[in-house]
Amino acid sequence: MSTHRPRIAVVGAAAAGLAAAEGLRRLGWDGEIALIGDEPHLPYDRPPLSKQILSGAWEPQRTALRDTEQIAALGLDLRLGTRALAYDPARRVLTLGDDGHTELRCVGVIAATGVTPRSLPGTDGVEGVHVLRTLEDACALRRRLATPGRRLAVVGTGVLGAEAAAVARALGHEVTLVGTGDTVMERVLGAEVGGLLADVHRAQGVTLRTGQAVTGVRAEAGRAVGVVLADGSTVEADDVLLAIGSDPAVGWLRGPGAGTAGPDLTDGLRCDEFCAAAPGLYGAGDIARWYHPVLRRELRIEHRMNASEQGLAAARNLLAELDPERFGERRPFTPVPYFWSDQYDLKLQAHGVLTGADRIEVRTLGKDPLRLAALYGGDGLATGVLAIGLPPRRTRGLRALIATPVPWPEAVARLADAVDA
């Protein structure tokens, strides 16, 4: 490609980065697009890693978001297996870790590098200790679970840990789910709904050790044999999955050149309502912490749907900044957040914001199988809604409760009407 054409760099080649690159082309950007990813794969979908890939229902290639022909049609400067080292916002120069620290001069950058999983001290190089973020991670644990009768300790009772525990138990393995919370997915779902979900896991044969911190992994001859809890007890295991959260992958934005005037990187890349962190620098996906003007709060959402929607929004607004006459005005990014989780035969679907609610209204319609609808609120308004085991028509109806802020008493009444309809 000609070096005289203006370049936009998209750093991160997963769902958010792909959506940004495709959006740039679809909206009419005819300059260069450098799509940079530190993994060697074409963009692939991450949600199946803890479900279909881990269970063996899918082969890895099925996770690809686009095939080689579709990627080629975008005319990208595709740089896979390449790490971004630094970005200088004043010079708009991106430094890469390939070819002796290549520098790319860009008119704009979209940061979509996602998150990195947390680990525990002393676990590097210990066989049988796993995280679950990349295709390689999922395939490594899948190979271990292909041997019948294994003991798996899952550290972390959030959505990732709960999904992996469900898959491993369905494969017939002995599973212990350990976490500091009192229930499953308590931080997101609350104590009551989390308790009902914990009962589902127990009924499926999962052993729950809740309210327990893990202080380390016990190893013998370089191989994991269990996890040590804060009370001194040990959960014996052949494999350990660490699902203890993640950190935004912002290290490259702290690199040389960022200086004291660099972007705010507290809990991700801080962006405004247009997904802009600085002139010419936009964030998308798990890395972005942006201001949602309808919900009147900053959000950072680690969910697949948000990644794609925000990638497109960041592309649109960057183009509008670069050439408003051609691409129009910037638009605030105001989605109704959505996430789903599959555990056993249950599907959990949530719209809006559940975390941090100061009140929750739960309507339980059945426990075997679990069927419920729950409304989440804060500051007198309904902020989120959850459906477990409900048909799509009812779930779509619940979304309307929080598409625009509704006073809590009105939303509770509408919840009853929607569930009883």
Of the candidates 63, 274, 52, the one whose C-alpha atom is nearest the C-alpha of residue 163 is 52
Cα–Cα distance measured from residue 324 to residue 322, given in angstroms and rounded to the nearest whole number: 6
Cβ atoms 80, 40 nearer than 8 A? yes
pLDDT tens digits, one per residue of 178-231: 999 999 999 999 999 999 999 999 999 999 999 999 999 999 999 999 999 999
Q: The whole model's pTM is what?
A: 0.94
pLDDT of the residue at 99: 62
pLDDT tens digits, one per residue of 62-86: 999 999 999 999 999 999 999 999 9
Element (H, E) at 346: strand 346-352
- The band of 100, judged by pLDDT with boundaries at 50, 70 and 90, is low
Cβ atoms 93, 106 nearer than 8 A? yes
pLDDT tens digits, one per residue of 358-393: 999 999 999 989 999 999 999 999 999 999 999 877
Percent of the chain with pLDDT over 90: 87
pLDDT of the residue at 258: 54
Cα–Cα distance measured from residue 196 to residue 363, given in angstroms and rounded to the nearest whole number: 12
Give the residue-averaged pLDDT of 100-113. Answer: 92
Instruction: Look at residue 166 and tell me whether its pLDDT is greater than 90.
Output: yes
Residue 163 pairs in a beta bridge with none
Residue 366 is encoded by which pair of tokens? 């059945």
Any idea where the domains of the chain sit in the sequence?
Answer: 7-116+247-327, 119-244, 345-420
pLDDT of the residue at 1: 40
Q: Name the percent of the chain in helix, strand, coil, to the closest 5.
A: 30, 30, 40
Architecture of domain 7-116+247-327: 3-Layer(bba) Sandwich (3.50)
pLDDT tens digits, one per residue of 234-264: 999 999 999 999 999 999 998 655 555 679 9
Q: Which CATH superfamily is domain 119-244 in?
A: FAD/NAD(P)-binding domain (3.50.50.60)
Whether domain 345-420 has CATH 3.40.50.300: no
- The band of 97, judged by pLDDT with boundaries at 50, 70 and 90, is confident
Quick one: residue 134, left, alpha or beta (phi over 0 = left, psi -120 to 50 = alpha)? beta
Give the residue-averaged pLDDT of 42-61. Answer: 96
Average pLDDT for the chain: 94
pLDDT of the residue at 2: 43
Picking from 10-14, 145-149, 153-157, 318-322, which range would have the lowest pLDDT averaged per residue? Answer: 145-149
- The band of 398, judged by pLDDT with boundaries at 50, 70 and 90, is confident
